[in-house]
Structures are given as structure tokens and as C-alpha cells.
């Protein structure tokens, strides 16, 4: 029979198809562990199972930014305290081994001991919408750059008549001109190169249009989310979107400017030795935010 007066702490090792949960008491003693499907029904079963062991004080979840994102949202909406738990480092895994139960108990123990205290992003508001739209924008920019480079590389070995026609053009002019090329005999190098350049030109133009549409959508969302940020010098929708995505929909989880600086990898770190007192720049943190 469950002792509802017993206070327990849970840990969850998350995966794409399943989540493995474990429960410990306040002293870190292992009580039980079980696997659940990573579905809506599985989340409900997991919460019921956790409650059957006592009063759940907190749940440590691995991968709240990936496989554990929806589970963290469900647990938070149900009123449970969710703590973000980093995956164990390689040294610890070599020492104790690796399995889903081991990782789940490690997550619970990290919360019980106070080692894990981070609040995960809620991922339930306009900032999450901004983050989602930035994904196809990033890949579209990468694909456009790749297509431009491929077109220029083709011109290096193209026949001189074709090279002369396209020499000195900007990336946009090159794409537009290539998109209008009329290949003739595909069995010859000139015709085949024209056909390849036409495809690349059309691809570049299509990607440019897609990027422009995404930029317009992101500008609307970032203006709605943080209008004061966009009026700062050097901050446009791209930079603002990245900083917002780094902070999340619940920026109150960051207790100070120093915490945000540390998250972005721009906080000074002590690097003193002996009588020498100095600092170095943090090389960790969110590198995308650091780049922004």
C-alpha cells in the first residue's frame, strides 16, 4: 500500500520512443523504475505511476530540449516541479556503466542531492514559435550558400564562352541569369553545364524567396515578443530571435544578467594561479547566442 506521506523524487531518461522513469526517496534510496511509451497515454501512465509511490516533490528530466520536451510540458501543466538534468559525463558513465534504469536513477539522484537545479524552458509560447521558424530559415540559408558555391565552382571549369557570359556577376545576378539559360545538347559540356547552372539558379531564387518569407514572419513575431530589443543598434529580427530562443518563453528562470551572460558564453571565468589574478572568457554556453 502506498504511503502518501512519503516524499519521493523522480528521474526520467528520455528517448524517441520510450521514457524510463525511476523513483528515489529523500535519502536517495532506489524505490522503483519502469519504462513508458513516449506518447500521450504513456505520459499519463507515468504520472499515475509516480503518484503511486508517494508525494512527488520534483521530477528530473534529461533532454528537456529534445526527446523530453513534451514530457516536461505535460509534467509542468500537471503541477509537478520539473528540473532540467544534464546527461552524465563520459567519465561517470565509464565508471558505473550505462543503461536506461541507471540514467533514470542518476537523474533522480541529481535532483535529490541538489546537483541539478535548472528550470527547463516551457516551450509553450511565442518564443517557441520563433525558434521553430528559425530552423527552416537556417537550413534554407545553408542550402542557398551551397548552391551559390556550386554554381561558381561549375564556372571554373566551364567553356570560356559561358564563363564570359557570367563573369563578374553578383550572387543574385548570377542566379537570375543562370535561371534563364537555355541548354541545347546535354551530351556536350556546354549544354550540360548550362542545364546544371539553370537548375542551381532556380534553386537559389526559390530559396531566396523562402528566406524572405521567413524573415517577414520572424520580424512580426520578434516585434510582438520583444519590441524594445529590436530598437537597439545592431539588433534585427535574426539576432533578436536567437537571443529570445536562448532565453526561452520563461526568461524568469534566469535569475540575473550574469546568468544570461554565462548561458551565452560571454561571462568572465576566473583563471588565476598563485599570485596572478586574471580571468578568461567563457568558451561554453550557447554558441549560437554567442555568435549573435
Per-residue pLDDT reduced to its tens digit, 120-138: 999 999 999 999 999 999 9
CA distances to 2, 3, 40, 102 from 53, in Å: 6, 7, 21, 19
Q: How far apart are CA 280 and CA 26, in angstroms?
A: 38
* Weakest mean pLDDT among 35-39, 154-158, 222-226, 263-267: 263-267
**pLDDT tens per residue, range 34-74:** 999 999 999 999 999 999 999 999 999 999 999 999 999 99
For the packed helices 237-247 and 126-156, what is the interaxial angle rounded to 10 degrees? 130
The residue whose grid cell reads 519502469 is 34
The secondary structure of the chain in percent helix, strand, coil, rounded to multiples of 5, reads: 55, 15, 30
Return the pLDDT at 275: 77
Q: Say yes or no to pLDDT of 1 above 50.
A: no
Q: How far apart are CA 104 and CA 210, in angstroms?
A: 42
Q: How far apart are CA 125 and CA 117, in angstroms?
A: 23
With pLDDT > 90 as the criterion, what percentage of the chain qualifies?
A: 75
Q: How far apart are CA 204 and CA 178, in angstroms?
A: 10
**pLDDT tens per residue, range 72-92:** 999 999 999 999 998 776 776
For 210-228, what is the mean pLDDT?
A: 96
Q: Say yes or no to pLDDT of 3 above 80.
A: no
Return the pLDDT at 257: 85
For 145-168, what is the mean pLDDT?
A: 95
Amino acid at each position: 500500500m502506498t504511503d502518501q506521506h512519503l516524499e519521493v523524487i523522480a528521474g526520467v531518461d528520455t528517448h524517441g520512443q520510450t521514457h524510463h522513469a525511476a523513483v528515489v526517496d529523500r535519502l536517495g534510496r532506489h524505490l522503483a523504475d519502469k519504462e513508458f511509451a513516449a506518447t500521450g497515454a504513456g505520459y499519463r501512465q507515468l504520472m499515475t505511476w509516480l503518484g503511486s509511490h508517494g508525494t512527488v516533490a520534483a521530477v528530473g528530466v534529461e533532454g528537456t530540449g529534445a526527446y523530453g520536451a513534451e514530457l516536461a510540458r505535460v509534467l509542468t501543466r500537471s503541477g509537478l516541479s520539473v528540473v532540467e538534468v544534464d546527461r552524465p559525463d563520459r567519465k561517470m558513465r565509464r565508471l558505473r556503466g550505462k543503461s536506461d534504469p541507471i540514467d533514470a536513477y542518476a537523474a533522480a539522484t541529481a535532483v535529490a542531492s541538489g546537483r541539478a537545479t535548472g528550470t527547463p524552458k516551457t516551450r509553450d509560447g511565442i518564443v517557441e514559435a520563433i525558434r521553430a521558424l528559425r530552423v527552416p530559415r537556417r537550413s534554407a540559408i545553408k542550402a542557398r550558400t551551397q548552391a551559390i558555391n556550386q554554381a561558381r565552382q561549375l564556372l571554373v571549369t566551364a567553356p570560356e564562352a559561358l564563363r564570359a557570359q557570367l563573369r563578374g556577376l553578383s550572387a543574385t545576378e548570377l542566379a537570375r541569369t543562370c535561371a534563364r539559360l537555355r541548354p541545347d545538347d546535354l551530351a556536350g559540356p556546354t549544354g550540360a553545364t548550362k542545364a546544371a547552372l539553370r537548375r542551381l539558379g532556380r534553386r537559389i531564387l526559390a530559396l531566396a524567396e523562402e528566406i524572405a518569407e521567413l524573415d517577414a514572419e520572424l520580424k512580426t513575431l520578434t516585434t510582438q515578443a520583444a519590441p524594445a530589443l529590436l530598437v537597439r543598434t545592431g539588433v534585427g529580427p535574426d539576432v533578436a530571435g536567437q537571443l529570445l530562443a536562448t532565453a526561452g518563453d520563461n526568461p524568469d528562470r534566469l535569475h540575473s544578467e550574469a546568468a544570461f551572460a554565462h548561458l551565452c558564453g560571454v561571462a568572465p571565468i576566473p583563471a588565476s594561479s598563485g599570485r596572478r589574478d586574471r580571468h578568461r572568457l567563457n568558451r561554453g554556453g550557447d554558441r549560437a547566442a554567442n555568435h549573435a
